[in-house]
Amino acid sequence: MSTQPIGIFDSGIGGTSIFKEIKALLPNEHTIYLADSFNAPYGNKTKREIIDLSIKNTELLIKKKCKLIVVACNTATTNAITTLRESYDIPFIGIEPAIKPAALSTQTKAIGILATKGTLSSELFHKTTDLYSDGIKVIEQVGEGIVALIEEGKTNSEEMKSLLKTYLKPMIEADIDYLVLGCTHYPYLIPLLLDMLPKHVKIIDSGQAVARQTKAVLEQRQLLNTTSTQGDNQFFSNGTIDVLNDILDGKYKVQYLKF
Ligand code: DGL
């Protein structure tokens, strides 16, 4: 049993999609969320830069006494989680594009994956894709510009719609029946995506799986918070706090912090 908080970090506000799943499954846990919006997007940075930023975020969360860290960013997970696990004793939960369930379920033998350049070019992503993509067409698409627009609060803008239209076109032409969202910012695009994709296309993201894995690891290590009161959830951003506040519907305490 541990009342210490769960730490969560992302390059910005996208990891709140993971926070919401964790909150739904583990309402009594305290959480501390770091939005590294000042350094967003991570997707076009080098592996070394992504590792250094992930270390910076991890050290702050450890200083804030977190018992487990959720790397709520596909780009940071696929580029840095191995180094983090080798460098620190506390458990890390990562998020990777859900290629496996899509590849196992596709009927059209074509799936789409939308993610950052950093994720799609990572070794970890290639390993997983190679493992499950035998006989399946995987249409990879870098979501260039998407994270920046979401960070600016322009999720439903005309600019976003036109980017998505361009990115989805080759996938629709290839007759995909699954679209994998490989970035924690993208679940906020689901209403737009559903409007643009043919009705039979299913969208998969890994948010709930990450929450379940977080719970399982806390149980295994006897770190679950078993008190019966609602957890306290704190949010820190080193960018504009308004956008983070909006995405959380003003429900939580959001503070500016330089880190
Ligand atoms: N939320 C991050 C991810 O899951 C966004 C990466 C970025 O900042 O480019 O990959």
Distance between Cα 188 and ligand 1 center (Å): 13
Same domain, 73 and 29: yes
Give the span between the Cα atoms of 110 and 121, in whole angstroms.
20
Sign of CA dihedral 53, 58, 96, 235: negative
Same domain, 236 and 194: no
Same domain, 115 and 179: yes
Same domain, 123 and 169: yes
Same domain, 212 and 91: yes
Give the span between the Cα atoms of 203 and 209, in whole angstroms.
14
Residue 86 scores a pLDDT above 90? yes
Number of independent structural domains in the chain: 2
Token output for 89: 């004793």
Question: Is residue 73 flagged as an active site residue?
Answer: yes
Domain enclosing residue 238, as ranges: 6-95+207-256
Q: Average the pLDDT over 82-109 and give the result.
A: 97
Q: Average the pLDDT over 172-195 and give the result.
A: 98
Same domain, 120 and 194: yes
Same domain, 130 and 192: yes
pLDDT grade, residue 1 (50/70/90)?
confident
Q: Looking at the domain assignment, is residue 1 inside a domain?
A: no
Q: Average the pLDDT over 182-197 and give the result.
A: 97
pLDDT grade, residue 119 (50/70/90)?
very high
Q: Which of 183, 189, 204, 211 is catalytic?
A: 183
Give tens-digit pLDDT for 136-165. 999 999 999 999 999 999 999 999 999 999
| Ligand 1 pocket residues where CB is under 6 Å | 10-12, 14, 40-43, 73-75, 116, 119, 147, 183-185
**How many Cβ atoms from other residues are within 10 Å of residue 159's Cβ?**
11
Q: Looking at the domain assignment, is residue 41 inside a domain?
A: yes
Question: Is residue 183 flagged as an active site residue?
Answer: yes
Residue 26 scores a pLDDT above 90? yes
Same domain, 38 and 66: yes
Q: Looking at the domain assignment, is residue 65 inside a domain?
A: yes
Choose among 74, 102, 67: nearest CA to 221. 67
Which CATH number is 220's domain given? 3.40.50.1860
Same domain, 91 and 104: no
Choose among 213, 214, 212, 152: nearest CA to 188. 152
Q: Which amino acid is at 235?
A: F
Q: Looking at the domain assignment, is residue 175 inside a domain?
A: yes
Sign of CA dihedral 98, 100, 101, 107: positive
